[in-house]
Amino acid sequence: MKQDHLTSDITLATAAPAHTQEAGKGLTAAQLLKLSLDTFLAKDIKGWAELWDENVVAEFPFAPDVASRKLVGRAAFYEYLKNYPSVIDIQSTPTLKINATDDPNMAIAEWSVSGRVISNGNPYEMSYATFVTFKNGLIVTYREYWDPMVFMAAMSGAKFW
């Protein structure tokens, strides 16, 4: 049986910390997306998780692992990505363009990263298209497209999950 979403028993605060919610007040969706990506690229996955709504829905439609194509909840999203900095070392962001949309709660990022897979030393060069919707300054939906063939070639047997 294929699982269409992941849940996790990991314990995170049920609501984003007040300082995170305060930081997002008055920012546009594009500014919130930039803050989110900056936090991720700083390898602060716990801080990044604080920017997500408790019931966030995250989708990675092209993920090679079918079970990780749809994640429901902050805890599941955190569990999926918490080890990212110890697996892939992002060293630079060659491109980053954030686009506002007609929906004031949504922004789209076109971005790329350059780095290496830590366990095997392979280069990691990936481009992303990320669609994010915010509510009350927190991420409520996150959909990201990337090339699974590039990912699998870079990983070449290294474990991500």
Give residue 16's pLDDT: 44
Band the pLDDT of 22: cuts 50, 70, 90.
low
pLDDT for the residue numbered 159: 75
Share of the chain above pLDDT 70, in %: 84
Decide: 35 and 24 in contact? Cβ < 8 Å.
Answer: yes
Report CA-CA distances (Å) from 47 to 4, 29, 116, 158, 159. Answer: 26, 18, 23, 26, 23
What is the pLDDT averaged over residues 31-43?
A: 96
Tokens of 51: 């920017």
Measure the CA angle with vertex 55, ends 74 and 39; round to 5°.
40
Confidence of residue 24 (pLDDT cuts 50, 70, 90): low
pLDDT digits (tens, 9 = 90+) for 114-128: 999 999 999 999 999
